[in-house]
């Protein structure tokens, strides 16, 4: 008799908004259904209860048209990925990376088209996080937040080299440059997506976001706002309101995801 594999269900809420300054939303979101557009007016609920699922947030770079095109392509490509596994997701991200470079080569309007991406997926009874760029996953543990992902940024590179200390404050403007992204360069460069095996005993909460949140609100304040709030819609709204009150200088995409082992 074959061993029954665990199923991870995901429920929660998400929002994607252009912010106060930008005229176009260059972010995109995949959480149950693919979204890319002007803005969601309020947090949206979502439930994923199949054996395999993917949640992904993408932050477009390369200018309005190129950034919006890239972020949507990343999440659409992931939404149709048939091999939901670390190998399959990695293959899809590398394929999208190559295709975005080709699009920029063939169409001057899409030159430099690229995106940072972050997400989670469940497959074969296991749960994973992944990222390329500086969009992040946090895990709520015992009243605190722990960053799961490692940024592909100049700041993180300096931290890894021991030149700069890691902290929970908002990073300086001169530390925003990415060290890798999906597409995003006129010269083709290879990338290595990051994958993280996530252990969940019964249930866990994760916060997934683009830098439209983390460049406006410190990790300490994100923790203060989200930890006491049980309702994921209210948690998303609290984080979004804080990013907007801090200036909303970039597009803001946030998902609060409650994972349960079934």
Q: Is the pLDDT of residue 14 over 90?
A: yes
> What is the per-residue pLDDT for 249?
95
State which fold the 8-261 domain adopts. Phosphatase 2c; domain 1 (3.60.40)
**CA gap 115, 62 in Å, rounded:** 8
- The 10s digit of each residue's pLDDT in 78-90 is 999 999 999 999 9
pLDDT surpasses 70 at 1: no
Does pLDDT of 179 surpass 90?
Answer: yes
**215 neighbors 153 (Cβ within 8 angstroms):** no
Residues 6+ apart with CB under 8 A from 79: 30, 34, 54
Residue 252 above 70 pLDDT?
yes
Single pTM value for the model: 0.94
Residues with Cβ within 8 Å of residue 40, at least 6 apart in sequence: 14, 15, 16, 17
Q: What is the pLDDT of residue 62?
A: 81
Percentage of residues in the chain having pLDDT higher than 70: 97
> In the prediction, which pLDDT does 202 show?
94
Compute the chain's Rg from CA coordinates: 17
At 215 the three-state DSSP class reads: coil
4 confidence band (pLDDT: 50, 70, 90)? low
H/E run at residue 221 = helix 219-226
DSSP state of 213: H
Confidence (pLDDT) at 2: 45
Residue 140 has pLDDT above 80, yes or no: yes
Q: Which of 37-41, 127-131, 141-145, 219-223 has the lowest mean pLDDT?
A: 37-41
Per-domain residue ranges of the chain: 8-261
């Amino acid at each position: 008799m074959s061993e029954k594999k665990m199923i991870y269900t995901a429920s929660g809420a998400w929002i994607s908004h252009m912010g106060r300054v930008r005229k176009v939303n260059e972010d995109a979101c995949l959480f149950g259904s693919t979204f890319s557009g002007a803005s969601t007016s309020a947090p949206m609920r979502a439930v994923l209860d199949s054996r395999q699922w993917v949640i992904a947030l993408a932050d477009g770079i390369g200018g309005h048209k190129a950034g919006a095109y890239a972020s949507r392509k990343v999440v659409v490509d992931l939404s149709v990925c048939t091999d939901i596994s670390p190998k399959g997701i990695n293959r899809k991200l590398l394929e999208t990376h190559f295709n975005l470079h080709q699009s920029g080569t063939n169409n001057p309007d899409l030159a430099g088209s690229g995106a940072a991406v972050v997400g989670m997926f469940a497959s074969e009874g296991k749960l994973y996080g992944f990222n390329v760029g500086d969009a992040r996953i946090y895990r709520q543990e015992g009243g605190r937040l722990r960053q799961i992902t490692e940024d592909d940024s100049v700041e993180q590179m300096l931290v890894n080299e021991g030149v700069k200390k890691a902290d929970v404050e908002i990073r300086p403007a001169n530390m925003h440059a990415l060290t890798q992204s999906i597409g995003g360069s006129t010269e083709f460069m290879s990338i290595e997506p990051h994958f993280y095996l996530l252990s969940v005993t019964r249930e866990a909460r994760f916060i997934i976001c683009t830098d439209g949140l983390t460049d406006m609100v410190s990790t300490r304040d994100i923790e203060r706002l989200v930890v006491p709030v049980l309702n994921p819609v209210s948690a998303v709204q609290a984080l979004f309101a804080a990013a907007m009150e801090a200036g909303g200088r970039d597009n803001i995409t946030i998902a609060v995801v409650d994972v349960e082992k079934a």
